[in-house]
Structure 1
């Protein structure tokens, strides 16, 4: 993978980009006030007291890596597959909406960056560009697979139309966001009366800027989203209207994993909506093991939430995830430098992940197993998984 070197030279050493948090810090300097004036902004904030959003990241710290030595890792291969296509390493850009808040090119830049690095992207229903444009932007650079994120809509005809458009344009999977019958209690959005910035529309939903800005984000979601969604009604209906894979996004329990198996879903994304829905639910890295155990290999498992380094990515794979997704880092990359910023963000993950693999004696993704990790115990000794 011929990417840019991670260290970025600068006349001011404090501005060098060496890690994902460096990109975040630089991005926050560039985002306009009202989008990221403080840590409690729309992009970076979560629900109520923001316990879950913090733990999504900090929960990784209790896992320790059991590195191995004297292993020939000169030909270590980070590649895997996602939606049947080879990818350079197991990371994709998750379906984060309103990306044009961070950079005018928004989802177009993200799609091009993912294609250039050789990864996948999921398209949000709240994207600022249409499915056709996002797909074509990526394909103009190279082969790329996209998933289409969907909510269950009160207007089922609109929902079916979006699904058919996604399939016609070549999307590979539906990511049904199942954790959002209503929006979470988001103090930050309410205090700031968050509304999508003027001039940005949601073409996938057919909404222009004027319509969007007449209502708060919370009110507009309540008016279009169907809070009567349920397994027995919606999964069979999706099967009847599309041949795309059907994934359930927002699973954090063994019970819902088993339900996804029962309903014949293709996979789940272990996710808590980036801590933006119900505060106090477990960090996704903590929910992952029970979901993996419940699935017992009967469906595929991806994970998102709080992955802030290549080492975090390695830990998630060791705990049973097949593939990982990031959302906020995409905004940070966009705000930092558009498409090139997203590429830098993805390259940073890649470089860290590959070195972690090599330092652990892993030559391929299949070598990353629970034996690679231990968990810190209160009484001192490291416990093997």
Structure 2
């Protein structure tokens, strides 16, 4: 029997670590850091409009520091896929939704914001300006942020975040199993010095040596003889007022007006510069400090997954953590999660529709008043006592 290549790939893949909170005793698998004594607490909760269990932030304006260890592994010569779900039940306004992948040397008891990690990945939201997916790699002891602005989701629904790193120094970021960013690690992060630098021995030539002017004034153009006209002239239609007394008021002068024949400052017309050489570009040379590295993607040791973050308003649920060496494995699991997310979206809409119907029903339930124009007739036909009786009846109806 011939086995499909996709099935062979799945059979050969390895789940490096997984946590969906379907097994009891999550408290024994996850360690609360004691580096500080005022960290926020996580609690096990189910999602809003779904039954997905996960770790939920429970206290506002808190730092959180919780982690779980796993069997140490290296991703050298292997694909690494990191995937998890995030649901911001609180419609988050400022806070992190990312995970950190630590080496096994980091202790869960002492994990904190300055603990060195290998990779940080996931959504981060703060106000209107920051709604991005962090993809940060530690390279030779320094954290490097991605140069792209990769947008994250900021609604109240569950979303899947996936990072794929491959041995050819390539990466992909997926949201809800759809690619949102991809490329080469060397190009989208500043891990290495630039391959080329400006030649320090070169300098911009003088204009006589390198003319950058696309156009120049026409040397053969001359100013017309009748060009020079004053900008303002005496108003030819003005007349001295009849009551003007030159002995008392002085010599009368007509007011000045704009000269319709004034042409402004003369300038010769432009022509193409016959000496134009184009914009000068500083020549580059190979950077002597650059050295390629085909192992940027690789880490010798992964051993702990941590939720080390800050939230102004609590209510985020983290779940369905997966680390594997197979994109197919992660994609298959994401496809199953998407089914739950479709049901979640339908449940959210049903709830919103029910609330809208209930709000509209309040108006429908109000009794209509038993008065109309025909019954009331012309109000001018009523005296004050009759009008008072009518108003009393209207109040009773209300």
* Alignment TM-score, normalising by the size of structure 2: 0.23
Q: Which has the larger radius of gyration?
A: 2
Higher helix share: 1
Bigger relative contact order, structure 1 or 2, given CA contacts below 8 A and separation 6+? 2
